[in-house]
Amino acid sequence: MSSNVDDGDGGSGSGHRIICHLDRVLAERGMTLTELSARTGITMANLSILKNNHAKAIRFTTWTLICEALDTTPSELFSLNLVQEPGE
């Protein structure tokens, strides 16, 4: 499977304030990253990038797979950090 998540390496800050709550949703479902990877076909590395909020982009197909596997919605998985960091 090709890379579904861009972890970026641009070095000049993320430029976004989207927060991924994959860790919380996994815990609520009693599911591990390993199980989610097996259910979706998404690599552990890409899921870890999402879980640790290091992703710069995510494909809609990836988002769909994760939502279906976790029986959740995008609004449960992602939120907007309304507090802007100094210098942004």
State pLDDT tens for residues 26-40: 999 999 999 999 999
Number of domains in the chain: 1
pTM equals 0.76
Average model confidence (pLDDT) for the chain?
85
**38 three-state secondary structure:** helix
Q: Is residue 46 part of a domain?
A: yes
Residue 26: per-residue pLDDT: 97
Q: Is residue 10 part of a domain?
A: no
CATH classification at residue 28: 1.10.260.40
Least confident of 6-10, 16-20, 60-64, 65-69: 6-10
Q: Is residue 29 part of a domain?
A: yes
Q: Is residue 31 part of a domain?
A: yes
Give the range of the structural domain holding residue 51, as residue numbers without chain letter.
18-80
Q: Is residue 42 part of a domain?
A: yes
Q: Is residue 62 part of a domain?
A: yes
